[in-house]
Structure 1
Amino acid sequence: MQKYSIQHNNWSRRHFLKCLPLSAFAIVGCNQQTHKFSNKIDTLEKVTQSGVLRAGYFVEPPAVMKDPNSGELRGSYVGAIKTIAAELGVKVDFIEVDLARFAAGIQNDLYDVSIGSTFRTIKRSRVVAFTDTIYYLGFAGVTPKGRGDEFRTEADVNRKGVRVALKEGAALQTYAKERWHNPELVILTGTDLSLPLQAVSSGQADVGFINEHTTEFYARNHDDVEIIFKDNPILVLGMSWAVRPDDTRWLQFLNTSLEALVSTGQMARWERKFYGEKLRRQIIEPDAPNVQT
């Protein structure tokens, strides 16, 4: 802000009174701008005041599962966010979102937190703030029954004539574009994470990749495919929830809440209920990794 200096030997009373309204206007304007930014209600306060916690999600078992008939949601993350909401004395409003657009939903205030199980990547962390890692996960895939031996390594996938189905917005999409220059990449859009796997069942692709959990649940119900990369998943990363980058108090609250659910064993109990076993909390660092995230 420009400063005005009044020196009695140079300024007359009339000049001072003439300039005073302008100075006052400048000060008020500045105060209004400061008030505009400093008076912003943080999400924790907003949620408790409104009585509603808006949770964006996409289906990714066992974290988020959706009954195809009733639409009812269940899963470890669903149980976690409901428990957190109960502690706050508020209800949860679930909002389904496409993985490829989860960050835009946060930035445009469509929901307070994205509980869709999301890979923590360096690129994504530029536009959202992630909670601490809840578990670790990589990418596996499926191929038609009887063709598993054809695709044991990434070099087997990275061949001309191979059609590889990937989900738009998945971390593996960027990875594949940077490394797999020979196969045909079939990029699929939509909220259903199993789309790349469905492409294999329908004959649109030779292999389809998505996270290990979605792959395993799909294979359980589709005997026309077999899993590849089950024992050597690609691009293993931490899985987290996401909030606005400037939402520090809300992020700290969620981290504390999630830590309590993990350390007390409640998260593991949900995981065993919906998946059959506790999920991967630790990973062994690979030798000489060649991974850009």
Structure 2
Amino acid sequence: MVLLSRLTRRALTCVAVIGFVAASIPAHADETGTWQSVKKAGVLRCGAAVAPPYVMRDPKTGEYSGFFSEICRSFGQNVLKVKVEFVDTTWDNIVAGLQSDKWDLSMALNDTPEREKAISFSAPATDYNVSFVYNKNNPKVPKGAHTITEIDKPGVTVAVMSGTAQDKAISAVFKQATIMRLPGNDETRLALMSKRADLLADANITNMLLTEAHPEWASTIQPTPPLAQQEVAFGLRKETPAADIAVLNKYVDEQVKSGSVNRLIKTAVQAMLVTNK
């Protein structure tokens, strides 16, 4: 019993020491890190450019939803234990605002080599590629089209949100069609629905919302090969410590593996479908 008692005490001492060391490592990293600054301020600022279902904003209440908004809100409240504030911005300014410390995280950014030169990225929450929505009755769009060559024709107009990943993607491959750059998602959809544009270039998930909301006229072209296949993640300032990025990565990975992100996507899609009815 004496031997057992001594072994038990030693084991408990080892556990206590290991626990102390493990706890002290992130605490030390936090003392000069991004998240420590956020904790001192008491608020996590999330840069928000609207792109359903990633980031959505109720025009009447100003409330944010969408699956990236929910991940950002949950990370701030449940991991950092602070309030969460969404800062309105545009896709043209989403990177510059982050660099100038107007917010702490940029939501739903495509991880591209160009952006990696300016900012850091978290682990991805989902994948992305560009698709095109068109009116089934539009004679300018060939039925069964599945390549860029089939739709990149003189007289064809493609609407896209200015400054987005899809803007950069189509600018690189469209040589003959006219690109209509507009400030937001509502404007691009209106351009297509009013027939000022023949095609709407957007994220595959976002375009899925439009076709499911309007199956009577809307159809999708998913280019072959996929256009701008990328990962969608949070953007962080370049100087963010690796330890802080690891904290966010761990949380994002957990949300993906648990199926939480897929559930949030489905919820956002359903909300959009109800809104568009």
Do they fold alike, i.e. is TM over 0.5? Answer: yes
- What's the counterpart of residue 5 of structure 1? none
Please give the root-mean-square deviation of Cα atoms over the aligned residues, in Å.
Answer: 2.2
Q: Does 1:105 align with 2:97?
A: yes
> Which residue in the other structure is 2:195 paired with?
203
- Return the letter of the residue paired with 2:109: T
Deviation at 1:219, TM superposition (A): 3.1
- Whole-angstrom distance in 1 between the partners of 2:240 and 2:173: 35
The 3-state SS of whatever aligns with 2:185 is coil
Cα distance change of structure 1 residues 186 and 231 upon mapping to structure 2, 3 Å threshold: closer
Is the counterpart of residue 177 in structure 1 residue 168 in structure 2? no
Q: Deviations over 1:42-86 (max 9, x none)?
A: 321111111100001122233322233322222222222222112
Instruction: Look up the equivalent residue of 1:68 and give its one-letter code.
Output: P
1:240 Cα deviation after fit: 0.7
CA deviations over 1:209-230 (Å, ceiling 9, x no partner): 1111221223344467423224
Cα distance in 2 for residues equivalent to 1:202 and 1:266: 37
Quote the Cα distance in structure 1 between the aligned partners of 2:262 and 2:208.
Answer: 18
Structure 2 length-normalised TM: 0.76
Aligned equivalents of 2:219, 2:153: Cα separation in 1: 19
Report what 1:271 is aligned to: 265
Q: How far does residue 159 in structure 1 lie from its aligned partner after superposition?
A: 1.2
Match of 1:137 in 2: 128
CA contact (8 A) 2:66 2:264 kept: yes
Contact conserved, 1:193 with 1:214, CA < 8 A, in 2?
no
Provide the secondary structure at the position in 1 that maps to 2:93: helix
Larger Rg computed on CA atoms: 1
Could you tell me how far apart the structure 2 residues matched to 1:177 and 1:269 are? 33
Q: Secondary structure at the match of 2:153?
A: coil
Q: Compare the two structures and name the one with the higher helix fraction.
A: 2
- Assess if the C-alpha contact under 8 Å between 1:158 and 1:182 holds in 2: yes
Alpha carbons of 1:271 and 1:186: their partners in 2 closer, same or farther (altered >3 Å)?
closer
Residue 40 (structure 2) aligns with: 49
Aligned length: 234
Shift of 1:114: 0.7
What's the secondary structure of 1:149's corresponding residue?
coil
Alpha-carbon distance, 1:266 to partner: 2.4
Amino acid at match of 1:61: P
Q: 1:197 to 1:254 in 2, by over 3 A?
A: same
CA distance in 2, matches of 1:68, 1:225: 26
Report if aligned partners of 1:164, 1:208 keep a CA contact under 8 Å in 2.
yes
1:24-63 maps to which residues of 2 (within 5 A)? 41-63=32-54
Q: How far did residue 125 of structure 1 move?
A: 1.0
Q: Give runs of ≥4 in structure 1 deviating > 6 Å.
A: none
Q: Secondary structure at the match of 2:116?
A: helix
Q: Among 47, 59, 76, which residue is 2:67 paired with?
A: 76
Percent of matched pairs sharing the same residue = 23
Match of 2:273 in 1: none
8 A Cα contact 1:142 1:225, kept in partner: no
User: Aligned ranges for residues 78-97 of structure 1 at < 5 Å?
Assistant: 78-87=69-78, 88-97=80-89
| Secondary structure at the counterpart of residue 95 of structure 1 | strand
Separation (CA, whole Å) in 2 of partners of 1:214 and 1:144: 16
Q: What amino acid is the match of 2:164? A: A
Cα deviation per residue 1:174-229 (whole Å; 9 max; x = unaligned)? 333332211112222x2x23433321112221112111122122334446742322
Relative distance call for 1:50 and 1:131 in structure 2 (3 A) is same
CA gap of 1:171–1:64, structure 2 versus 1, over 3 A, is: closer
Aligned counterpart, 1:226: 218
Separation of aligned partners in 1, 2:259 and 2:147: 36
Spell out the pairing of 1:252-263 with structure 2 (5 A cutoff). Answer: 252-263=246-257
Cα separation, 2, equivalents of 1:141 and 1:267: 24
Tell me the distance in 2 between the aligned counterparts of 1:194 and 1:220: 16
Distance (whole Å) between structure 1 residues aligned to residue 81 and residue 137 of structure 2: 52
Task: Find out whether 1:238 has 2:251 as its counterpart.
Answer: no
